Amino acid sequence: MHMQTHIKMNRQMMILTSIRKLKFATRRHLMAIHDMGGIRNANRILKDLSPYVNSTVYKKEHVYYLN
């Protein structure tokens, strides 16, 4: 397995664990907890998690929760 793939999987697992502990989280919450870079990068990371999380919009902000 390539090193970048391993790092990406670790990051995804950490984010999924945070969502599980919090029950739900917004992008802003996850950006504060994890070093996700800018908004565009955070959106890309969360898009990669789409098989594992659902999202809904609440007060003009996406809320992510586990499937």
Residue-by-residue pLDDT tens, the chain, 67 positions: 688 899 999 999 999 999 999 999 999 999 999 999 999 999 999 999 999 999 999 999 999 999 9
Domain count of the fold of the chain: 1
User: What's the chain look like in SS3?
Assistant: CCHHHHHHHHHHHHHHHHHHHHCCEEHHHHHHHCCCCCHHHHHHHHHHCCCCEEEEEECCEEEEEEC
pTM for the model stands at 0.89
Domain range holding 25? 3-66
8: domain CATH number is 1.10.10
The confidence score (pLDDT) of residue 1 equals 64
